[in-house]
Amino acid sequence: MLTGTAGMAVSGLAWQASGQSPPSDAGGKRSLEPVMAKVSLTVNGKPVELEVDTRTTLLDAIREHLHLTGTKKGCDQGQCGACTVLAGGRRINSCLTLAVMHEGNKITTIEGLGTPEKMHPLQQAFVKCDGYQCGYCTPGQICSAVAMLDEIKAGIPSHVTTDLNAAPVFSLAEMKERMSGNICRCGAYSNIAEAITGVAEAKP
Ligand code: FES
Ligand code: FES
């Protein structure tokens, strides 16, 4: 069976050859027309309502509809972590999820973690430790690190946690494993690690 683009091309040719129109949806529109839907979100504490093509990713809704461009598009395929945001406090790759799947959700982007005047402790640590070069991966790194430290506090084990009966403890190995989905093309890893470690080990 043909799948993907090849399958669609053959199916289009088949419709042309048959002289008939492709199937319509219930409203009589061609099925190739975008289907729009409303979605309500709370983004960085503010309620927002959007009307989007149902194929719009959360990343594109954040950047193109809400103009919050701190969240970056790197690979757009779930492989680099540049688009990491928090959904209900948990980190997700916003390029891999549709905006309409987040009806009613609380989304936090880098802009919602802190401001230049009142930075989040991890934002301060990245500045202090020079945890970036070009800065493109930095919003994703920081959002991911915020959730990663919460995951350790919540007792969620990782692939390198050795004792599953004990609460996980922050370590370099745990951090490397848990942050492995956030790629830094500039290779600023040692400074990123220093920044995150400083916050993880800071006395409350
Ligand atoms: Fe989403 Fe790379 S842009 S993981
Ligand atoms: Fe450039 Fe990480 S600082 S990609």
List the chain domain ranges: 36-113, 121-200
Given a contact cutoff of 8 angstroms between Cβ atoms, the answer to whether 131 and 141 are in contact is yes
Residue 79 beta carbon below 6 angstroms from any ligand 1 atom: yes
Q: Which atom of ligand 1 is nearest to the CA of 79?
A: 4
Residue 74 beta carbon below 6 angstroms from any ligand 1 atom: yes
Residue 30: predicted pLDDT: 63
Average pLDDT over residues 125-129: 98
Q: What is the mean pLDDT of the chain?
A: 90
Given a contact cutoff of 8 angstroms between Cβ atoms, the answer to whether 139 and 70 are in contact is yes
pLDDT at 1 over 60: no
| Third-level CATH fold of 121-200 | DNA polymerase; domain 1 (1.10.150)
Q: What is the DSSP letter of 101?
A: G
Residue 134 beta carbon below 6 angstroms from any ligand 2 atom: yes
Residue 178 banded pLDDT, cuts 50, 70, 90 = very high
Q: Which atom of ligand 1 is nearest to the CA of 59?
A: 1
Given a contact cutoff of 8 angstroms between Cβ atoms, the answer to whether 131 and 150 are in contact is no
Measured in Å, residue 139 CA sits from the centre of ligand 1 at 12
- Ligand 2 pocket: which of 110, 132, 191 to mutate (most atoms within 8 A of CB): 132
Residue 111 beta carbon below 6 angstroms from any ligand 1 atom: no
Given a contact cutoff of 8 angstroms between Cβ atoms, the answer to whether 84 and 94 are in contact is yes
pLDDT at 170 over 60: yes
Question: Closest Cα partner for 144 from 62, 85, 79?
Answer: 85
Residues 6 or more apart whose Cβ sits within 8 Å of residue 138: 126, 131, 132
Residue 162: predicted pLDDT: 94
Residue 39 banded pLDDT, cuts 50, 70, 90 = very high
User: Which carries the bigger pLDDT value, residue 38 or residue 16?
Assistant: 38
Measured in Å, residue 102 CA sits from the centre of ligand 1 at 18
pLDDT, tens digit, 9 for 90 and up, residues 71-111? 999 999 999 999 999 999 999 999 999 999 999 999 999 99
Average pLDDT over residues 129-140: 98
Residue 12 banded pLDDT, cuts 50, 70, 90 = very low
Average pLDDT over residues 119-143: 98
Residue 32: predicted pLDDT: 78
Chosen CATH of 36-113 out of 3.40.50.12780, 3.10.20.30, 3.30.420.40, 3.40.50.150: 3.10.20.30
Average pLDDT over residues 4-27: 48
Give the phi and the psi of residue 43 in degrees, each rounded to 5. -110, 120
Residue 76 beta carbon below 6 angstroms from any ligand 1 atom: yes
